[in-house]
Amino acid sequence: MNKVFSLLFSMILFSSLSTFAFERDTFIEESLENQNIEKPIQNLKYDYTAVDKIPIKLQIQTPITTKNDSIVEGQLIDFVVREDVKYNHRVVIPKGTKATAVIQTYQSRGMNGIPAIIVLDDFEIPNLDKSKLKDDYIKRGQDRSYIVFPIKWALTLIPFAGYSTNLILGGHAHIKKKHNVIIYYYPKWAEN
Amino acid sequence: MKRFLALFACFIFMVVPSFAKETKEVNLVDDIALQKHISDIGLKLLNANQIDVRMIFVYKDNESKIKLEPGLMKRQIFVYDQTLQFASNDDELAAYIAREISKSAESYSGGFRGFVTSFQVKAAPKKYERFFDKRAVDFMVKAGYNPLGMITYLNKSQPQKRYDTISRHNLTSKRLANIYEYIYIKHPYYLKNNEYIENEAYQNFLLTSIENRKKLHEKIKSGSTKAVKYE
Task: Name the minimum distance, in Å, from the CA of B165 to any CA of chain A.
Answer: 14
Q: How far is Cα B101 from Cα B173, in angstroms, rounded to an integer?
A: 22
The average confidence (pLDDT) of chain B is 87
What per-residue confidence (pLDDT) applies to B126?
A: 86
Q: Test B50 with A25 for CB contact under 8 angstroms.
A: no
Mean pLDDT value of segment A75-92: 94
Biggest CA–CA distance in chain B, Å, is 91
pLDDT in tens, B66-122: 666 777 778 889 999 988 999 999 999 999 999 999 999 989 988 888 888 888 888
What per-residue confidence (pLDDT) applies to B89?
A: 95
Q: How far is Cα B137 from Cα A31, in angstroms, rounded to an integer?
A: 21
What per-residue confidence (pLDDT) applies to A9?
A: 60
The average confidence (pLDDT) of chain A is 86
% of residues, chain B, pLDDT over 90: 58
Q: Test A105 with B131 for CB contact under 8 angstroms.
A: yes
What per-residue confidence (pLDDT) applies to B62?
A: 77
What per-residue confidence (pLDDT) applies to B14?
A: 57
Lowest-pLDDT range of A51-65, A116-130, A158-172, B66-80: B66-80
Predicted confidence (pLDDT) at residue A21 exceeds the cutoff of 90: no
State the pLDDT confidence band at A11, using cuts at 50, 70 and 90: low
Q: How far is Cα B90 from Cα A88, in angstroms, rounded to an integer?
A: 43
Task: Name the minimum distance, in Å, from the CA of A2 to any CA of chain B.
Answer: 33
Task: Name the minimum distance, in Å, from the CA of A141 to any CA of chain B.
Answer: 11
Asked if A150 is an interface residue toward chain B (Cβ–Cβ < 8 A), one would say no
Side-chain half-sphere exposure of B172, counting CA atoms within 13 A: 15
A140 contact residues in B (CB cutoff 8 A): 109-110
Mutate to test the interface with A, among B175, B192, B224 (most CBs of A within 10 A): B192
Q: Test B217 with A22 for CB contact under 8 angstroms.
A: no
Q: How far is Cα B67 from Cα B186, in angstroms, rounded to an integer?
A: 33
Task: Name the minimum distance, in Å, from the CA of A72 to any CA of chain B.
Answer: 7
Asked if A140 is an interface residue toward chain B (Cβ–Cβ < 8 A), one would say yes
Mean pLDDT value of segment B200-215: 94
Mean pLDDT value of segment A100-118: 92
Can you tell me whether residue B194 is helix, strand or coil? Answer: coil
- With CA atoms as reference, the chain B residue closest to A189 would be B50
Can you tell me whether residue A134 is helix, strand or coil? Answer: strand
Q: Test B130 with A107 for CB contact under 8 angstroms.
A: yes
% of residues, chain B, pLDDT over 70: 87
Predicted confidence (pLDDT) at residue B8 exceeds the cutoff of 90: no
Q: Test B47 with A46 for CB contact under 8 angstroms.
A: yes
Task: Name the minimum distance, in Å, from the CA of A171 to any CA of chain B.
Answer: 14
What per-residue confidence (pLDDT) applies to B76?
A: 87
Q: Test B47 with A48 for CB contact under 8 angstroms.
A: yes
State the pLDDT confidence band at A172, using cuts at 50, 70 and 90: very high
Q: Test A73 with B186 for CB contact under 8 angstroms.
A: yes
What per-residue confidence (pLDDT) applies to B26?
A: 59
Q: Within 10 A of A92 (CB to CB), how many other CB atoms are there?
A: 17
Asked if A134 is an interface residue toward chain B (Cβ–Cβ < 8 A), one would say yes
State the pLDDT confidence band at B183, using cuts at 50, 70 and 90: very high
pLDDT in tens, B11-33: 555 555 554 555 556 588 888 99
- With CA atoms as reference, the chain B residue closest to A41 would be B142
Q: Test A136 with B109 for CB contact under 8 angstroms.
A: no
Mean pLDDT value of segment B163-174: 87
Listed in sequence order, the residues at least 6 apart from B177 whose beta carbon sits closer than 8 Å to its beta carbon are B209, B212, B213, B215, B216, B228, B230
Mean pLDDT value of segment A126-142: 89
Q: Burial code of A120-154, b = ≥16 C-beta within 10 A, e = fewer?
A: bbbbebeebeebbbbbbbebbbbbbbeebbebbee
What per-residue confidence (pLDDT) applies to B11?
A: 56
